[in-house]
Structure 1
Amino acid sequence: MQNFKLLKSIVERQNRLRAGRGGDEGQTVFEYLGIIVIIALIIGAIIGTGLANTIANAITAALADITG
Protein backbone atom coordinates (compact mmCIF):
# COMPACT_ATOMS: atom_id res chain seq x y z
CA MET A 1 0.00 0.00 0.00
CA GLN A 2 2.87 2.35 0.79
CA ASN A 3 4.37 1.75 -2.68
CA PHE A 4 1.04 2.63 -4.29
CA LYS A 5 0.92 5.97 -2.45
CA LEU A 6 4.49 6.72 -3.45
CA LEU A 7 3.80 5.85 -7.08
CA LYS A 8 0.65 7.95 -7.06
CA SER A 9 2.49 10.98 -5.69
CA ILE A 10 5.28 10.59 -8.28
CA VAL A 11 2.78 10.41 -11.14
CA GLU A 12 0.87 13.43 -9.83
CA ARG A 13 4.10 15.43 -9.58
CA GLN A 14 5.10 14.51 -13.13
CA ASN A 15 1.68 15.54 -14.40
CA ARG A 16 1.98 18.92 -12.67
CA LEU A 17 5.43 19.44 -14.17
CA ARG A 18 4.20 18.58 -17.67
CA ALA A 19 1.23 20.92 -17.33
CA GLY A 20 3.43 23.84 -16.31
CA ARG A 21 5.91 23.38 -19.11
CA GLY A 22 4.94 24.30 -22.65
CA GLY A 23 7.30 21.79 -24.20
CA ASP A 24 7.41 21.05 -27.85
CA GLU A 25 4.13 19.18 -28.09
CA GLY A 26 2.89 21.53 -30.83
CA GLN A 27 5.99 21.18 -32.97
CA THR A 28 5.43 19.70 -36.37
CA VAL A 29 7.65 17.58 -38.54
CA PHE A 30 8.06 20.52 -40.90
CA GLU A 31 9.49 22.72 -38.17
CA TYR A 32 12.04 20.06 -37.29
CA LEU A 33 12.81 19.62 -40.98
CA GLY A 34 13.41 23.36 -41.25
CA ILE A 35 15.93 23.23 -38.43
CA ILE A 36 17.73 20.31 -40.10
CA VAL A 37 17.87 22.19 -43.42
CA ILE A 38 19.33 25.28 -41.74
CA ILE A 39 21.99 23.20 -39.99
CA ALA A 40 22.85 21.47 -43.27
CA LEU A 41 23.21 24.86 -44.99
CA ILE A 42 25.52 26.12 -42.25
CA ILE A 43 27.67 22.98 -42.50
CA GLY A 44 27.73 23.31 -46.29
CA ALA A 45 28.84 26.94 -46.02
CA ILE A 46 31.63 26.03 -43.59
CA ILE A 47 32.89 23.28 -45.88
CA GLY A 48 32.46 25.38 -49.04
CA THR A 49 34.49 28.31 -47.74
CA GLY A 50 37.40 26.17 -46.57
CA LEU A 51 36.74 27.18 -42.99
CA ALA A 52 36.52 23.51 -42.04
CA ASN A 53 40.28 23.06 -42.42
CA THR A 54 40.95 26.13 -40.29
CA ILE A 55 38.65 24.84 -37.56
CA ALA A 56 40.21 21.35 -37.72
CA ASN A 57 43.72 22.81 -37.49
CA ALA A 58 42.75 24.98 -34.51
CA ILE A 59 41.24 22.00 -32.70
CA THR A 60 44.31 19.88 -33.44
CA ALA A 61 46.60 22.62 -32.13
CA ALA A 62 44.52 23.06 -28.99
CA LEU A 63 44.59 19.31 -28.31
CA ALA A 64 48.33 19.24 -28.87
CA ASP A 65 48.75 22.04 -26.31
CA ILE A 66 46.61 20.19 -23.79
CA THR A 67 48.24 16.79 -24.21
CA GLY A 68 51.70 17.84 -24.89
Structure 2
Amino acid sequence: MQNLMLLKEIVEQRLRSRARRAGDEGQTVFEYLGIIVIIVLIIGAIVGTGLADTIANAISTAVENITSQGG
Protein backbone atom coordinates (compact mmCIF):
# COMPACT_ATOMS: atom_id res chain seq x y z
CA MET A 1 0.00 0.00 0.00
CA GLN A 2 2.83 2.41 0.78
CA ASN A 3 4.40 1.61 -2.58
CA LEU A 4 1.24 2.78 -4.32
CA MET A 5 1.16 6.00 -2.32
CA LEU A 6 4.83 6.60 -3.09
CA LEU A 7 4.26 5.93 -6.79
CA LYS A 8 1.28 8.29 -6.80
CA GLU A 9 3.38 11.05 -5.19
CA ILE A 10 6.19 10.57 -7.73
CA VAL A 11 3.77 10.76 -10.67
CA GLU A 12 2.10 13.89 -9.28
CA GLN A 13 5.47 15.55 -8.73
CA ARG A 14 6.53 14.85 -12.32
CA LEU A 15 3.25 16.21 -13.65
CA ARG A 16 3.71 19.41 -11.65
CA SER A 17 7.26 19.70 -12.93
CA ARG A 18 6.14 19.34 -16.55
CA ALA A 19 3.39 21.91 -16.05
CA ARG A 20 5.93 24.46 -14.78
CA ARG A 21 8.20 23.88 -17.77
CA ALA A 22 5.33 24.22 -20.23
CA GLY A 23 4.52 27.63 -18.76
CA ASP A 24 8.12 28.75 -19.25
CA GLU A 25 8.04 27.73 -22.91
CA GLY A 26 4.96 29.86 -23.50
CA GLN A 27 6.66 32.82 -21.86
CA THR A 28 9.69 32.37 -24.10
CA VAL A 29 7.50 32.55 -27.20
CA PHE A 30 6.10 35.90 -26.07
CA GLU A 31 9.60 37.20 -25.32
CA TYR A 32 10.74 36.32 -28.85
CA LEU A 33 7.60 37.91 -30.25
CA GLY A 34 8.37 41.11 -28.33
CA ILE A 35 11.91 41.18 -29.72
CA ILE A 36 10.61 40.69 -33.26
CA VAL A 37 8.12 43.55 -32.84
CA ILE A 38 10.89 45.86 -31.61
CA ILE A 39 13.13 44.93 -34.56
CA VAL A 40 10.29 45.57 -37.03
CA LEU A 41 9.64 48.97 -35.44
CA ILE A 42 13.32 49.90 -35.70
CA ILE A 43 13.49 48.85 -39.36
CA GLY A 44 10.28 50.78 -40.06
CA ALA A 45 11.75 53.90 -38.44
CA ILE A 46 14.96 53.58 -40.46
CA VAL A 47 13.07 53.20 -43.74
CA GLY A 48 10.57 55.92 -42.85
CA THR A 49 13.21 58.53 -42.06
CA GLY A 50 15.29 57.89 -45.17
CA LEU A 51 18.25 56.55 -43.23
CA ALA A 52 18.11 53.32 -45.23
CA ASP A 53 19.75 54.98 -48.26
CA THR A 54 22.44 56.58 -46.09
CA ILE A 55 23.23 53.26 -44.42
CA ALA A 56 23.29 51.41 -47.75
CA ASN A 57 25.65 54.01 -49.25
CA ALA A 58 27.97 53.84 -46.22
CA ILE A 59 28.13 50.05 -46.44
CA SER A 60 28.80 50.17 -50.19
CA THR A 61 31.59 52.70 -49.66
CA ALA A 62 33.15 50.58 -46.92
CA VAL A 63 33.03 47.45 -49.08
CA GLU A 64 34.59 49.32 -52.02
CA ASN A 65 37.38 50.61 -49.76
CA ILE A 66 38.11 47.12 -48.45
CA THR A 67 38.11 45.51 -51.91
CA SER A 68 40.25 48.22 -53.50
CA GLN A 69 42.88 47.92 -50.73
CA GLY A 70 42.99 44.12 -50.95
CA GLY A 71 44.12 44.02 -54.61
TM-score clears 0.5: yes
- C-alpha distance in 2 between matches for 1:53 and 1:35: 24
Q: Deviations over 1:6-47 (max 9, x none)?
A: xxxxxxxxxxxxxxxxxx868421111111000000000001
Task: Give the structure with the larger helix fraction.
Answer: 2
Give the paired residue count: 45
Provide TM-score, normalisation by structure 1. Answer: 0.58
1:48 matched to 2:48? yes
- 1:43-64 deviations in Å (ceiling 9; x for gaps): 0000110001000000000111
Counterpart code for 1:53: D
Q: What TM-score do the two structures reach when normalised by structure 2?
A: 0.56
% of aligned pairs identical? 80
CA distance in 2, matches of 1:51, 1:37: 19
Unaligned runs of 5+ in 1: 1-23
Gaps of 5+ in 2: 1-23
> What RMSD in Å do the two structures reach over aligned CA positions?
1.9
